[in-house]
Amino acid sequence: MLEREVLEGIDAVQVDPAVGHNDNGNFLFINLSDCSTKFRIPPSTRRRVNREKLRAVLLKGVEDHVQWSKRLINVKVDGDGSGVQAIFEDGSTYYGALLIGSEGSNSAVRRFLSPEDYRNRQLPIRFVGSGINMTPEQVKPLRSLDPLLFQGCHPETSCFMWVSMLEVPEINGTAGTDEERYRVQINLSWPVQSQADEVKAGNHDRLADMKRRAGVFAPTLKTAVETIPDDAEVLEIKLADWPCLPWDNHRGRVTLMGDAAHAMTMYRGEAANHGMLDAFNLCQALKSVYQDGKPLESAITTFEQEMRSRTSHAVQMSRQACFDAHDWKRLNENSAILTKRAVVAK
């Protein structure tokens, strides 16, 4: 679906192109108490990319068709099902043949299609993280575990940790200078056992809680968390999902895809893959309408049925993976966080 130069551009926005071009595909799950490897997930080709730079690459050639800072407040479908109107907070309206809600897990289109059951289901797990700059000396122990990313669980506290590279000196322009730096993402998550486990209100208290929880980690990991500066922004991510429940597509005029259709936690790392497959399948569905004369309602309904069958299971597996990631005793080769992802494009 993408032009060759766009695909080449995606390769160019990897967080560490040198590793990306010679990647061994390791994906470690470690014991946070001593950095020993619990599991080594089977290798596969992977591209760890910068989200903002990836977006810029994908916008090439379509910039003029994208409008930013628009907030959908209402949807109206013609009584005879001949078209659909999108109404935005700034007073603008747009009329078309098909409205696709692909605006994330808090989709306004989902709320329109499923007004009685559009809300995400929050999990009893809390998640915070921060992006920090590190010197080559500070980041070396982390990159010795894996140069791109790794994850793990502490056997006694059930705290989960995710570490990944966001930028290397060759990408941020500091290579060979006295200011050489890496940008690293550090996330922690943990089960809620009491009110004390709820995410704290401000950055200072959130960071203090992260450092407290990391106090029992292996020295390499504890030091990494302690490296987060006092003024760093510590963000909370609400862990919640929505299992692609049925909705009325209004004779094929309104549908969903991506996180809007099947929000899932990140512990299996497959949400983006499903979103891309949604886009491909929707493109094929529209081709069947405009090239083969298939009725729009039939094409969209078939598209939704395949997506619902595929992703309802994926949402549940990702939910289970979230629980597994925080339960050391239950972790084994059959855990949802480790089992193979089965996504097949037609």
Beta bridge partners of 128: 188, 236
Model pTM greater than 0.85?
A: yes
Inside any domain, residue 290: yes
Same domain, 318 and 203: no
Q: How confident is the model at residue 40 (pLDDT cuts 50, 70, 90)?
A: confident
- Of 185, 205, 236, which residue constitutes the final position of a domain? 236
Residue 346 has pLDDT above 50, yes or no: no
Same domain, 308 and 166: no
Same domain, 283 and 270: yes
Inside any domain, residue 266: yes
Residue 34 has pLDDT above 50, yes or no: yes
Q: Is 36 exposed, middle or buried (CB count within 10 Å of its CB: 0-12, 13-18, 19+)? A: exposed
Q: State how many domains the chain has.
A: 2
Same domain, 132 and 211: yes
Residue 44 has pLDDT above 90, yes or no: no
- Here the CATH number for the domain that contains residue 325 is 3.50.50.60
Six-digit token pair at 84?
């659909």
Six-digit token pair at 328?
């050391």
What pLDDT was estimated at residue 237?
Answer: 95
Same domain, 260 and 180: no
Residue 36 has pLDDT above 90, yes or no: yes
What pLDDT was estimated at residue 51?
Answer: 85
Residue 5 has pLDDT above 80, yes or no: yes
As a whole number, mean pLDDT of residues 109-115 equals: 97
Inside any domain, residue 74: no
- Of 205, 236, 267, which residue constitutes the final position of a domain? 236
As a whole number, mean pLDDT of residues 247-251 equals: 96
Inside any domain, residue 69: no
Inside any domain, residue 43: yes
What pLDDT was estimated at residue 343?
Answer: 45
> Which conformational region is residue 25 in: left (phi greater than 0), alpha (psi within -120 to 50 degrees), or beta?
left
What pLDDT was estimated at residue 341?
Answer: 53
Inside any domain, residue 229: yes
Same domain, 116 and 177: no
Same domain, 102 and 192: no
Same domain, 147 and 272: no
What pLDDT was estimated at residue 50?
Answer: 83
Residues present in the chain in total: 346
Same domain, 116 and 186: no
Domain region containing 293:
80-121+241-330
As a whole number, mean pLDDT of residues 215-235 equals: 97
Same domain, 162 and 296: no
As a whole number, mean pLDDT of residues 221-247 equals: 96
- Here the CATH number for the domain that contains residue 181 is 3.30.9
Rg of the chain's alpha carbons, rounded to an integer?
22
As a whole number, mean pLDDT of residues 298-307 equals: 98
Q: What is the mean pLDDT of the chain?
A: 92
Inside any domain, residue 72: no
Same domain, 259 and 286: yes
How far is Cα 130 from Cα 226, in angstroms, rounded to an integer?
12
Residue 236 has pLDDT above 50, yes or no: yes
- Of 202, 236, 270, which residue constitutes the final position of a domain? 236
Higher pLDDT, 25 or 120: 120
Same domain, 164 and 184: yes
Inside any domain, residue 55: no
Residue 20 has pLDDT above 80, yes or no: no
Residue 106 has pLDDT above 50, yes or no: yes
Element (H, E) at 30: strand 27-31
How far is Cα 39 from Cα 41, in angstroms, rounded to an integer?
6
